[in-house]
């Protein structure tokens, strides 16, 4: 099975991601307590926890597992698997969540790529207002149809407009 260790606390597999944190849960908190929300959090290092809370890096002590589960439920994903193992605590996220994350990343990347294409086109038009579609395609690396599609969207957004004839405008 394919796996890639990104660091000592994160391993990517083809069908899951494992997050590992050295150190077990406190003795008075079980996995069932975590899942039910029936526990009182007591940070191990209160000074670090207070600094993180003051910097708004955490909302409140002990709220992370509940938020993770809520986010997964809102997305229609199965709960991650939480367990004490060896000398630490492990959270495993399975296929469906990985696919969802990949889809979100792919969509964001695609949107950024589209915006960069439009920026390239606008830059070239600013440099040469009389530039042709073929020249834009050559300079940006996009196809002629890609240029035409982007120009249509830029016109609809009111960012560019054609002035003059179809040949020389």
Gap between the Cα atoms of 144 and 136, Å rounded = 8
Gap between the Cα atoms of 136 and 121, Å rounded = 7
Q: Which of 9-18, 80-89, 96-105 has the lowest mean pLDDT?
A: 96-105
Mean pLDDT of 94-122: 71
Higher pLDDT, 116 or 108: 116
- Model confidence at 1, pLDDT cuts 50, 70, 90, reads very low
% residues pLDDT > 70 (the chain): 83
Token pair 């630490």 in the structure block, residue: 88
Spatial contact of 10 and 84, defined as CB atoms under 8 Å apart: no
4-49 pLDDT, tens digit per residue, is 555 567 787 777 888 888 888 888 888 898 888 888 887 777 888 8
123-132 pLDDT, tens digit per residue, is 888 888 888 8
- Model confidence at 73, pLDDT cuts 50, 70, 90, reads confident
Mean pLDDT of 84-112: 74
Q: Which of 53-62, 77-86, 136-145 has the lowest mean pLDDT?
A: 53-62
Q: Which of 2-11, 26-35, 77-86, 157-166 has the lowest mean pLDDT?
A: 2-11
Q: State the pairing for strand pair 88-94/16-22.
A: antiparallel
């Amino acid at each position: 099975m394919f796996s890639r260790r990104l660091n000592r606390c994160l391993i990517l597999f083809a069908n899951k991601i494992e997050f590992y944190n050295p150190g077990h849960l406190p003795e008075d908190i079980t996995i069932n307590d975590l899942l039910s929300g029936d526990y009182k959090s007591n940070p191990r290092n209160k000074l670090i926890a207070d600094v993180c809370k003051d910097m708004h890096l955490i909302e409140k002590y002990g709220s992370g597992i509940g938020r993770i589960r809520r986010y997964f439920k809102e997305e229609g994903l199965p709960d991650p698997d939480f367990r004490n193992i060896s000398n630490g605590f492990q959270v495993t996220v399975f296929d469906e969540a990985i696919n969802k994350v990949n889809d979100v990343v792919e969509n964001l990347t695609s949107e950024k790529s589209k915006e960069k294409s439009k920026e390239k086109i606008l830059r070239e038009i600013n440099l040469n207002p009389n530039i042709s579609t073929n020249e834009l395609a050559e300079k940006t690396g996009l196809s002629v149809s890609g240029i035409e599609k982007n120009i249509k969207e830029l016109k609809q957004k009111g960012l560019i407009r054609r002035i003059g004839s179809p040949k020389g405008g």
